[in-house]
Structure 1
Amino acid sequence: MTTPSWDDDLAQLLQRVVTSAPTPPPAPPMPTVPPMPTVPPQGPTSTGPVVDEWWRKSGPVVHTPVPLGGDQPARPSMEAAAQAFWAPVGQILTQQVPHIAEQVGQQVNLLLTETEAQRAAREQIQYEAVRDAQRAMRDAQFAAAGETAAQQAERHRIEDALNPGHRRDDLVGMVDLLADRIGETPEERATRRQAEHELDRQRARAREDAARAAAGETPEQRTRRHRQQRLADQREARTRARRQRRRTARTAGPSDRARRFRRWCTLTAISATGGYATGLVTLITPGGPYVGLLVATFGWALDLQVRDRGRQRVSEVTGPFPLITLVALRVPVASGLTVALGLGPVFAALPLY
């Protein structure tokens, strides 16, 4: 009897393990993909249902075409739409036109029948009625807020000062205003503008008084401020009168203009001589004409500022002290003009030393 070898025992053990292992399930077959069509799908050739989408995983979807204009509701025409749009407008015009015509007729009747005195009296009565009603309403509101009698009197004073007066704001008022403006003379226009300016200033002062009183200004402070304002008004009046005299003096003939030109040349030559004597011309001569023009520009600006921004002419300055001051202030202007015009050698030839 022979003993099996070690290799035979290992082979039997492996065979026994292989036979006892479970058998794996078979692999599923690969899905078959249909080939792509070589010809694109054609449109419908009949009136029946048409398959529009033929390649979907969930199956084909059937669309039923609807012919255009078959079952759609009919649209209204352009004439009907325009008539429906303009119907409310026509109704409004039908209601408003007679009322407007009646008002225009009343205005024309008033213009043709009533006199100037009657119209002024009627307008004054209407204006006073509206003003009194508005003032009564304000008084009631302020009284409910706790206004005293003294405060009410002060408020009435300020309202009277701020009241611009009555003027019609319709066609008649515009025609009256235009007639007044066309028929007034230059003197009347100047007087009217001065009165309007004074009235505007009074209204502004009244507004300022009310604002400062609300901020806590005392009567002493108000009196002091009014005195300063009165002094400023007097200075402004003197300045305005002086400018008016200058404007009146400028309306002169050719002989007066020639005299003023000679005076200007004389004063400018004196200033240039002073500039050469002080060495200003010699100082700016190496810079050339452009430096001279620059110096003359700055000097001219200073000269205009001193002469009330050019309102007072050089030939209008009179008196020894004003003339000396003018000549001294115009030294930069004259020196710059001398260098710009190349007149330095002329002054060098003069026996000034």
Structure 2
Amino acid sequence: MTIPPPPSEPPTADMPTPDSESVAEWWRKSGPVIPPPTQPPAPGQPDTTVHTPIPIAAAPATQAATMAAAAEAFWAPAGKLFAEQASTIAFQVGEQIGQLLTETEAQRTARQQVEYEEMLAGQRARMDAALGKVGETAQERSARHRVEDILTPDRPAQRDDLVGLVDLLADRLAETPEDRAARLETQRELAKQRARAEDDRARAAAGETPAQRDLRHRQQQLADRREAKLRTRRQHRQAARTKAGSSDRARRFRRWCVLTAISATCGYATGLVQLAAPGGPFVGLLLAGAGWALDLHLRDRGRLRVSEVRRPGPLLILIAARVPVASGLAVAAGLDPLFAALPLY
């Protein structure tokens, strides 16, 4: 469409003045008139045809049919996809509910183990193929498989679907304190093995030799045995404290008083009480605090109580280690003049 030429007169040429007649009367009589459609202009002539917009309601039937067909063609794939997804989700939920209601515990465990092993085998095959293309040797592949076996848990991971959620809730509700302690211990051991496998991988990449790795593993095994023995002793002590009654607590308190008095007497005999006495109770408390920190460190950070030491050798070590604590308590309580009446010399 060509642009019409500009008008020969300004738009306000025939507009009335405010004194002659009203604007509304002028608009009614001499307002703009839309001319009827004319024939197409001749070649070289400007197009002066005024195009009148057609309302949507008055659009031809063919145009409406075309729009409906376009909308249907646009939404057809989306509707098909939604229908497929809805049917797939409904089938999966129905299958899981059916498995939950019909399968026994042994059948579910066996099926999950098979699925888990198939998934691991597929992952390992893809990894072997990918690393084989870049030149991985058989020795490197066997070493990587050993590390992967350590890092990969022996049992299948917890499922993230409805069956896994129900199984997890059932296990937690029926779990006893002993089962929970065993589960937490297993998780700690698995985390330790994974951390050590990652350490082995990092050290091997840094150039650690097999002899050095074997020596480090031997040291770790010795440390693990010592830690296991220490944990066993702590559990026995905790079980004994749980079973103890009021009479046992009173007997332990008397034993603590006797051992503390012996340590304070040793402190007076060595002159530690006389040395701290001029400073007053404040110095006694400082001495007791410093000795208490050493005492807690020697008694497994306070897990081993004073009244739980039994054998002669550990008792002598305990009395000697608690001399600063007992001396500071004696000075803070003002009991240092009492030791002068004792026939210690």
Within the candidate set 309, 312, 316, 1:320 is matched to 312
Aligned to 2:156: 166
Contact 2:97/2:163 (<8 A) preserved: no
Secondary structure at 2:136 match in 1: coil
Match of 1:345 among 324, 337, 343: 337
Equivalent residue for 2:170, pick from 175, 179, 182 = 179
Indicate yes or no: 2:260 matched with 1:268.
yes
User: Which of the numbers 104, 110, 120 marks the counterpart of 2:99?
Assistant: 110
Q: CA deviation at 1:102?
A: 4.3
What is the count of residue pairs matched by the alignment? Answer: 267
- Correspondence for 1:246: 237
TM-superposed deviation, 1:326 = 1.4
Residue identity over aligned pairs, in percent, reads: 65
Paired residue for 1:278?
Answer: 270
Partner Cα distance (2:18, 2:254) in 1: 111
Q: Quote the Cα distance in structure 2 between the aligned partners of 1:116 and 1:47.
A: 98
Shift of residue 139 of structure 1? 0.8
2:186 matched residue in structure 1: 195
Note the 1:21-40 alignment, pairs <5 A. Answer: none
User: How far 1:339 moved relative to its partner?
Assistant: 1.5
Return the offset for 1:47.
8.6
Q: 2 CA distance for matches of 1:188 and 1:113? A: 27
Matched, 1:311 2:297: no
Gaps of 5+ in 2: 1-16, 20-74
2:326 to 317, 327, 334: 334
Partners of 1:300 and 1:98 in 2: how far apart? 70
CA distance in 2, matches of 1:123, 1:325: 56
Deviation at 1:268, TM superposition (A): 0.6
Task: Please report the TM-score for the alignment, with normalisation by the length of structure 2.
Answer: 0.70
SS, match of residue 344 in structure 2: coil
The answer to whether the 8 A contact 2:96-2:162 is kept is no
Q: What one-letter code is carried by the residue in structure 1 that aligns with 2:105?
A: E
The aligned amino acid for 2:224 is D
Mapped partners of 2:150, 2:340: distance in 1:
68
User: CA distance change for structure 1 residues 160 and 260 in 2, over 3 Å: closer, same or farther?
Assistant: same
Structure 2 distance, partners of 1:201, 1:310, is 25
Residue of structure 2 equivalent to 1:75: none
**Counterpart code for 2:156:** H
1:196 shift after superposition: 2.7
| Aligned equivalent of 2:143 | 154
Structure whose CA Rg is larger: 1
Q: CA deviation at 1:253?
A: 1.4
- List aligned pairs for 1:74-223, cutoff 5 A: 100-164=89-153, 165-167=155-157, 168-223=159-214
Q: Which residue of 2 aligns with 1:11?
A: none
Letter in 2 for 1:166: P
Q: Deviations over 1:237-275 (max 9, x none)?
A: 221122222222223111111111111101111111122
1:101 to partner: Cα distance:
4.0
Name the CA distance, whole Å, in 1 between partners of 2:343 and 2:106: 82
Q: Given the superposition, is the C-alpha separation of residues 321 and 148 from structure 1 closer, same or farther in structure 2, using an over 3 Å criterion? A: same
Q: Secondary structure at the match of 1:139?
A: helix
CA distance in 2, matches of 1:120, 1:311: 41
Unpaired stretches in structure 1, ≥5 consecutive residues: 1-45, 49-87
RMSD of equivalent CA atoms:
2.6
Quote the offset at 1:162 in angstroms: 1.0
Q: How far off is 1:97 after superposition? A: 5.5
2: CA distance between counterparts of 1:47 and 1:280?
A: 119
Q: For residues 124 and 244 of structure 1, what CA distance do their matches in structure 2 show? A: 34
Q: Within 1, Cα distance between the matches of 2:182 and 2:306?
A: 30
Distance 2:248 2:180 in 1: 29
* Shift in alpha-carbon separation, 1:127–1:258, aligned structure 2, 3 A: same
